[in-house]
């Protein structure tokens, strides 16, 4: 395997010529003062290293990010966790009388309550078909174009 580069060597590198955009949508009403101060301190440090900070950057679709997360993340989780049936991957319930009971108990005991909620929400989002998921993919790609 290739050696892992020591990225910490670059932490004090001059950043002359680097332009950084600070999206105005990320500074929201009600932001904790400590958070705003930490961001400002980081920006000052970057400017001190030579970076040029652009304050008029806008990512207008930021307001949809949380709603999209609550559709996309559970959908992805549901699809990815489907393989954990106890046969080939993951926890396997061993004291079952039938294959169907083993599958049921594996899911019942192998996943926590929050994981089950996310699987159910994701399964619903995926099964809703054209009403939810394709729009979220469109929005996901549209937001990806902004960054």
pTM recorded for the entire structure: 0.55
DSSP H helical ranges for 2-95: 33-48, 65-81
Tell me the per-residue pLDDT of 68-105, one tens digit each, with 9 for 90 and over: 998 999 999 988 888 877 777 778 888 888 888 888 88
Note the pLDDT of residue 22: 92
DSSP SS3 for 75: helix
Q: How far apart are CA 77 and CA 136, in angstroms?
A: 15
Q: How far apart are CA 11 and CA 8, in angstroms?
A: 5
**Residue the block writes with tokens 């989002």:** 125
Note the pLDDT of residue 139: 55
Please indicate whether residue 8 or residue 117 has the higher confidence score (pLDDT).
Answer: 117
Are 109 and 94 contacting, i.e. CB atoms less than 8 angstroms apart? no
Instruction: Quickly state the pLDDT bin for 138 (edges 50, 70, 90).
Output: low
Provide the mean pLDDT of the chain.
84
List the one residue out of 20, 84, 96 whose CA is nearest residue 51. Answer: 20
């Amino acid at each position: 395997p290739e050696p892992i580069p020591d990225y910490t060597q670059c932490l004090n590198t001059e950043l002359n010529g680097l332009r950084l955009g600070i999206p105005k949508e990320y500074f929201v009403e009600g932001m904790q003062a400590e958070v705003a101060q930490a961001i400002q301190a980081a920006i000052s440090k970057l400017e001190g290293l030579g970076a040029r900070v652009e304050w008029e950057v806008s990512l207008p679709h930021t307001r949809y990010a949380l709603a999209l997360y609550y559709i996309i993340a559970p959908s992805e989780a549901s699809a990815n966790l489907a393989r954990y049936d106890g046969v080939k991957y993951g926890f396997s319930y061993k004291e079952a009388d039938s294959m169907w009971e083993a599958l049921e108990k594996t899911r019942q005991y192998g996943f926590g309550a929050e994981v089950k909620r996310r699987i159910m929400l994701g399964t619903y989002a995926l099964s809703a078909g054209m009403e939810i998921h394709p729009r979220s993919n469109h929005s996901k790609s549209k937001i990806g174009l902004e960054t």
